[in-house]
Chains A and B, each alone.
Chain A
């Protein structure tokens, strides 16, 4: 039954994704690979929509993928699945707040979890970069020049120029959409 599976997949995501919205990304890629509910391309579009709409990115991505998989009930169930472990964990933590804060096992676990989370997001980015910049094949030697130029422009804007560095991602997403339409990406 798809609803039960949907709930279970997003329950796991909510339980194991540590460090905010983007941390759910490796889990979504894993769901995509195992179930075929949505494609990697759809995932990239979901990220863009989730960044450009109000609300937490992790919640938005769960809602979106649930909707694509099983319509409105799917959206409700995947979102519920994602937030259920959070609610349980936080209600437990709140009851033992100070003990949790200073526990060295908890601190040790997160000392290891943070780099792991960064690594998994890096890997998810590489999967997307392979499609976007190398036509799906790193070793083929074909580079998508148009995509590379846009990426360099965006990197300059988001890192080098003080005036544009703090602008919201939604502006860059809109900018990239317009560039995509005008230059037929």
Chain B
């Protein structure tokens, strides 16, 4: 076990976690500089592959990419260490902020500020949906799944897990059926 390499993985990914706002795609340019150019732990092509797979595996994309590169560099343990590194700054920053916000949340002006922020969050979610929608809804079948899950989420009190499993099964059936016909 190479302690020095593992420590390097942890520190490198913690640094990236601390300077990336927004995660996911916002991290790509920083990964290219640190991982490909500085550390030479991977190539641009590998990064592109990891992103593609991160898109279609569960979980947060930044975490997925960290696991991939860590594993490639130092085996399974490396994957775990790199992942812990990338989430470590979040843990520290959010815990500090959450404490502060809770302490001041009863002040009138803080309430007004968050009421304004909530409007902004609505718009941000709307924008995220538009971006996802154009990539995910590509024909009438995917539109059908979108509408069915939307109706189900609004009117039925079911866990999202149910919709995810059903949509996954529907996708397999549709794809395999379309291929055959």
Contacts and interface: CB of A to CB of B under 8 A. Distances in A.
Interface of A: 12, 14-22, 24-27, 30, 33, 41, 44-45, 47-60, 63-64, 67-68, 72, 75-76, 79, 82-83, 85-87, 89-91, 93-94, 97, 100-101, 104-126, 128-129, 131-133, 147, 150-151, 154-155, 158-159, 168-170, 172-173, 175-181, 183-185
30 contacts: A16-B161, A16-B165, A18-B56, A20-B23, A26-B160, A47-B124, A50-B94, A51-B22, A53-B97, A54-B18, A55-B23, A63-B94, A67-B95, A94-B72, A101-B53, A110-B171, A114-B142, A119-B150, A121-B129, A125-B126, A128-B118, A128-B125, A151-B122, A151-B123, A154-B123, A159-B127, A176-B116, A180-B114, A180-B116, A181-B116
A48 B118 contact: yes
Contacts of B157: 33
Q: What DSSP secondary structure best describes chain A's contact surface?
A: helix
Which residue among B79, B99, B129 has the maximum number of chain A CB atoms within 10 Å of its CB?
A: B129
Contacts, number: 360
Interface in B143-181: 143, 145-150, 153-154, 157, 159-161, 163-176, 179
A116 B159 contact: no
B1 interface: no
A120 B163 contact: yes
A69 to B, nearest CB: 11
A114 B136 contact: yes
A46 B42 CA distance: 34
A86 B168 contact: no
Nearest to A16: B164
Contact of B169 (A51, A87, A112, A168): A112
A86 B64 contact: yes
B24 A21 contact: yes
Secondary structure call for the B interface: helix
A53 B171 contact: no
Interface of B: 17-24, 27, 49, 52-53, 55-64, 67-68, 71-72, 76, 79-80, 83, 86-87, 89-91, 93-95, 97-99, 101-102, 109, 112-129, 132-133, 135-137, 142-143, 145-150, 153-154, 157, 159-161, 163-176, 179
